[in-house]
Structure formats: C-alpha cells, structure tokens
Amino acid sequence: MEKLLELLKENYPDVDFTGNRSLVTGGTWDSVDVVNVITEIEDAFGISISMEYVLPENFDSVEKIWAMVRKLS
C-alpha cells in the first residue's frame, strides 16, 4: 500500500489520503482525476482495471483503491 500512497501523493500533493474517505463522492476528484489515477495505477502495478471496477466507491479512499489493486493483482 505504501507504493500506492506514494503514487497518489506525488500526483495529488494537496489531498489528505489518510483522512479522506470520499475522494469521488465528496468531490475531491472528478472523472478526469479518476481516469488519470487508473492510468497511473495500471502502469505502476502492471494491472488492467476494466470498466466493471470504474465505480465511485472503488476510488473513494486509498484503502478502497488498494483493495481493488490487490484483487486485480
């Protein structure tokens, strides 16, 4: 999870990933941000995130993103 957190902090330094549990549903990220995050995650972890996983709840927190990455790895 450290690698994911570093990647997110590098691309979004102003976001508090340890305390934010509503990155998408709370409006911190929009659809463009999610697409960018998907690209970064796919490149960093060598996975493919299919459309069935592109749901707001899968990107609302670093923990939820990490759970998805682990499932797809």
pTM score of the predicted model: 0.93
List the domain boundaries for the chain.
2-72
pLDDT at 18: 86
Structure tokens at 29: 């990220």
Homologous superfamily of 2-72: ACP-like (1.10.1200.10)
CA distances from 71 to 26, 38, 61, 64, 67 (A): 24, 15, 16, 11, 6
Reported as a single tens digit per residue, the pLDDT across 25-72 is 999 999 999 999 999 999 999 999 999 999 999 999 999 999 999 999
Query: Quick one: residue 31, left, alpha or beta (phi over 0 = left, psi -120 to 50 = alpha)?
Result: alpha
